[in-house]
């Protein structure tokens, strides 16, 4: 066994003994007690104190300072233990944190990163605007310097979870006379202040994940300008790469191969939740689904899902080799969006009238949830950058086609 393998084995044993020590009894597998808010907070703090909510971040900013191999071991052991890791803000850990580590100054890192790892501050993303659509660089929300502050006026839309957020990372126009990509800055500011109004937007699924946010003379400290004045476009693009790569990994088809109990990874057995679900509604002929056309659709979906997951894994290994997050994240985000919508379409087609459930008696909670999820999936083509934007990025940055 090499020195590196021995160190990983020691780390695995430490994690394996640490998890049952810090996990509250109500959260452990087999518990029949509903976890309290205090128990969930204790679980979060146990992870955060070791930096495991942001395991690859440097320790001096609240991260775990772990290598990619150690993170893989941590994830495998948490999966083996059977309790979901504590959740912290996607916007803070996946989007803002990485760009602060790359572009923020020391004061900004010390001020914001540790709060993100402990889930103390909830963030949201101020990118899209009512008049800009997919042309993100056409944004018109203005920030004007006034002494040691910026005064912000304008509106952002499709702002996910803004009504639950404390702070916003926001693209603002700071030079209206410059070319549209050159007059943008990346600014952080508190949402709990006069001049900020947040209005949830109800979606076709019945949910209200998105909001419209209005700024009327809202204030941001000049010290919360990330990167140079009018240099926000570069930061904005890098943040979107992080977002798209993560979104593609979190949608059906983007899962990594399942960890094996012993520690190494293997490709999961080719089971199909879609086929199992369809059996209950369509019946079987022998051990096969009764509808041959639907059988073919499900088989093709599962094959594409498996190939996509393996492609993402290969891309992750290439990233570890030093290539980092690339424009290929747009390719993965586009495909993951289509896969998720396709899964919903197949599932709805198997359920017949049971797919019409919205609320009330006559439908199971699962049928209602899946119908709403199918409608919600339509938003995958918009959130995180529209599919048209992803196609443009793929054409220019991946395929090298001319403008």
* Residues marked as catalytic: 243
Helix 273-282 / helix 292-318 crossing angle, nearest 10 deg: 170
Give the whole-angstrom CA distance, residue 177 versus residue 32. 63
Residue pair 48/119 in contact (Cβ under 8 Å)? The answer is yes
Give the whole-angstrom CA distance, residue 88 versus residue 215. 26
Helix, strand, coil percentages for the chain (3-state, nearest 5): 50, 15, 35
Residue pair 342/297 in contact (Cβ under 8 Å)? The answer is no
> Could you tell me which of 299, 291, 252 has the C-alpha nearest to residue 271?
299
Give the whole-angstrom CA distance, residue 361 versus residue 345. 23
354 C-beta neighbours (distance < 10 Å), count: 18
Query: How far, CA to CA in Å, does 24 sit from each of 29, 35, 262?
Result: 11, 8, 25
Strand partners, 212: 199
Give the whole-angstrom CA distance, residue 344 versus residue 363. 17
What DSSP character marks residue 166?
Answer: S
Q: Characterise 283 by phi-psi region: left (phi > 0), alpha (psi -120 to 50), beta (else).
A: left
Residue pair 372/205 in contact (Cβ under 8 Å)? The answer is yes
């Amino acid at each position: 066994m090499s020195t590196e393998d021995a160190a990983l084995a020691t780390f695995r044993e430490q994690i394996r003994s640490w998890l049952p020590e810090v996990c509250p009894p109500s959260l452990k597998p087999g518990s029949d007690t509903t976890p309290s808010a205090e128990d969930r907070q204790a679980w979060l703090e146990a992870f955060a104190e070791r930096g495991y909510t942001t395991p690859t971040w440097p320790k001096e900013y609240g991260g775990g300072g772990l290598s990619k191999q150690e993170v893989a071991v941590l994830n495998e052991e948490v999966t083996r233990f059977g309790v979901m890791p504590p959740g912290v803000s996607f916007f803070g850990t996946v989007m803002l944190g990485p760009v602060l580590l790359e572009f923020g100054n020391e004061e900004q890192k010390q001020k914001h990163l540790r709060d993100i790892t402990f889930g103390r501050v909830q963030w949201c993303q101020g990118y899209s605007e009512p008049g800009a659509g997919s042309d993100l660089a056409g944004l018109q929300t203005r920030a004007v310097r006034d002494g040691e502050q910026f005064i912000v006026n304008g509106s952002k839309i499709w702002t996910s979870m803004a009504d639950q957020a404390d702070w916003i990372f926001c693209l603002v126009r700071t030079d209206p006379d410059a070319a549209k990509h050159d007059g943008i800055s990346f600014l952080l500011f508190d949402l709990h202040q006069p001049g900020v109004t947040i209005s949830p937007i109800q979606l076709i699924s019945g949910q209200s994940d998105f909001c419209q946010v209005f700024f009327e003379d809202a204030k941001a400290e000049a010290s919360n300008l990330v990167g140079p004045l009018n240099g926000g476009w570069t930061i904005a693009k890098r943040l979107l790469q992080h977002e798209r790569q993560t979104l593609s990994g979190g949608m059906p088809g983007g899962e990594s191969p399942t960890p094996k109990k012993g520690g190494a990874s293997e490709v999961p057995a080719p089971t199909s939740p879609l086929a199992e679900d369809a059996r209950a509604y369509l019946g079987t002929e022998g051990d096969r689904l009764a509808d041959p056309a639907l059988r073919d659709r499900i088989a093709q979906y599962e094959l594409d899902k498996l190939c996509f997951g393996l492609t993402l894994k290969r891309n992750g290994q290439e990233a570890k080799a030093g290539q980092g997050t690339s424009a290929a994240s747009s390719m993965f985000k586009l495909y993951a969006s289509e896969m998720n919508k396709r899964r919903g379409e197949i599932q709805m087609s198997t359920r017949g009238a049971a797919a019409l459930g919205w609320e009330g008696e006559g439908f199971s909670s699962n049928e209602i949830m899946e119908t709403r999820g199918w409608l919600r999936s339509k938003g995958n083509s918009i959130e995180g950058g529209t599919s048209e934007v992803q196609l443009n990025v793929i054409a220019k940055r991946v395929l090298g086609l001319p403008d």
